[in-house]
């Protein structure tokens, strides 16, 4: 299974009409016609809307959004909605929230705040993906599935600690092999029981932040473990999708040279690679070219999708240099020249508030 079947380079992006009254939707599609937008990514952050309570699923609004996009002749990249978990889930199961590098259990908030080792999170995220796929798999407008969103971050909770020890058992087989690989005789670090191993954090092996560690081996392996744990989350959702949609391609959006995840281990599990390009300034052509080539190389030269970029600001940055006229066109064609089969943006209509990056209207 490879890329979505499209007749041209797809053009469009994230569209979130649930953030606006329905009388705005008509204007949106008129503008999409003028801009020749043919592809929309829907439902990335809709978990709380689709599942407003533990045993309640409500697809009424998403039904209207999907039906309108299909009626208007747009291709749909449909998300599972698990890019951020809902408030009720954190309240009912506090363990789904991450424990940070400093050892603090987080409460509900932000976006990347789901513990990848939480059985509750794994079960409910997969169930949402299952229900979304079951409901929309037969819609001919849906050309691809979008799982999660920009996987990243890390958790240092007890669940992750236990899962890390299991991951180490599988990797090394014995404590003797682990002690030899990590050279634990230094600083009297020899482990005699798996339960003695702690995730490397500010409370254990690190000082001056995550980039300074007393034992490189355990820190490197925790990065590997975290990448594999989140890959397991992705695979959980993909397997749920496959129950009712065996043929449509499945992806998630990578972040170029993002260090914490091993995209080479992830790539075999994606049907096609997609990624989000947010250059730090408009003089980073070589950096962006390298990232494009990295993304294309993940699947041996198969074309990829540029899932996100923005002509305006990226709110997670302290400084947003003004883009020169024409530079976004150059970025878009640069992506195509490096193998992109889609040029998409975040987002097609700016949110009424609190967006990480927006498309100016």
Of the listed 72, 205, 237, 308, which one is catalytic?
308
Query: Looking up tokens 């749920």, which residue turns up?
Result: 240
Please state, in angstroms and rounded to a whole number, the distance separating the CA atoms of residues 231 and 212: 26
Report d(CA 223, CA 239) in Å as an integer. Answer: 24
Q: Count the neighbouring beta carbons within 10 Å of the beta carbon of residue 301.
A: 10
**Does the CA dihedral 167-171-173-179 come out positive or negative?**
negative
Known catalytic residue at 150: yes
Write the DSSP string, 54-90: TTB---HHHHHHHHHHHHTT-EEEEE-STTS--HHHH
CB neighbourhood size of 102 (10 A): 11
DSSP at 357: B
* Closest CA relative to residue 328, chosen from 35, 27, 29, 24: 35
Beta strands (DSSP E) in the chain are 10-14, 39-42, 75-79, 142-146, 250-251, 253-254, 274-276, 304-308, 340-345
What counts of helices (H) and strands (E) characterise the chain?
Answer: 11, 9
Whether 198 is catalytic: no
Distances (CA, A) of 118 to 233, 236, 356: 10, 13, 27
Catalytic residue among 72, 150, 205, 237: 150
Question: What radius of gyration, in Å, describes the C-alpha atoms of the chain?
Answer: 21
Spatial CA neighbour of 153 closest among 257, 258, 238, 82: 258
Question: Which helix (H) or strand (E) segment is 236 a member of?
Answer: helix 216-242
Determine contact, residues 303/273, Cβ cutoff 8 Å: no
Sign (positive/negative) of CA torsion 187, 192, 196, 200? positive
Nearest-10 Cα torsion for 96, 102, 107, 111: -70
Return the active site residues.
Answer: 150, 308
């Amino acid at each position: 299974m490879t890329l979505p079947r499209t007749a041209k380079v797809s053009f469009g992006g994230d569209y979130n009409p649930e953030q606006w009254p329905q009388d705005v939707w008509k204007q949106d599609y008129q503008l999409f016609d003028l801009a020749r937008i043919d592809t929309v990514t829907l439902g990335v952050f809709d978990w709380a809307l689709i599942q407003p309570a533990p045993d309640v699923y409500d697809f009424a609004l998403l039904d209207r959004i999907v039906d309108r996009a299909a009626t208007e002749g747009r291709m749909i990249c449909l998300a599972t909605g698990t890019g951020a978990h809902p408030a009720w889930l954190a309240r009912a199961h506090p363990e789904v929230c991450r424990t940070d590098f400093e050892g603090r259990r987080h409460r509900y908030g932000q976006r990347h705040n789901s513990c990848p080792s939480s059985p509750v999170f794994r079960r409910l995220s997969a169930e949402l993906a299952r229900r979304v796929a079951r409901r929309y798999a037969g819609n001919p407008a849906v050309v691809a599935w979008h799982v999660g969103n920009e996987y990243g971050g890390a958790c240092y909770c007890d669940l992750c600690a236990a899962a890390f020890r299991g991951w180490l058992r599988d990797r090394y087989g014995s404590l003797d092999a682990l002690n030899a690989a990590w050279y634990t005789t230094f600083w009297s670090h020899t482990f005699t029981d798996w339960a003695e191993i702690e995730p490397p954090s500010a409370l254990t092996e690190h000082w001056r932040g995550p980039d300074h560690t007393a034992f490189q081996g355990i820190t490197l392996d925790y990065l590997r473990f975290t990448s594999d744990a989140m890959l397991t989350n992705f695979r959980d959702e993909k397997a749920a999708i496959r129950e009712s949609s065996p043929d449509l391609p499945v992806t998630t959006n990578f972040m170029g040279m993002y260090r914490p995840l091993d995209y080479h281990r992830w790539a075999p599990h994606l049907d096609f690679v997609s990624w989000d390009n947010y250059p730090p300034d408009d003089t980073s052509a070589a950096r962006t070219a390298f990232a494009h080539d990295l993304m294309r190389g993940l699947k041996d030269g198969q074309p990829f999708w540029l899932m996100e970029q923005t002509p305006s600001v990226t709110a997670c940055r302290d400084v947003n240099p003004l883009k020169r006229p024409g530079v976004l066109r150059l970025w878009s064609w640069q992506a195509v020249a490096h193998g992109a089969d889609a040029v998409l943006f975040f987002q097609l209509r700016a949110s009424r508030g609190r967006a990480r990056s927006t498309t100016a209207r």
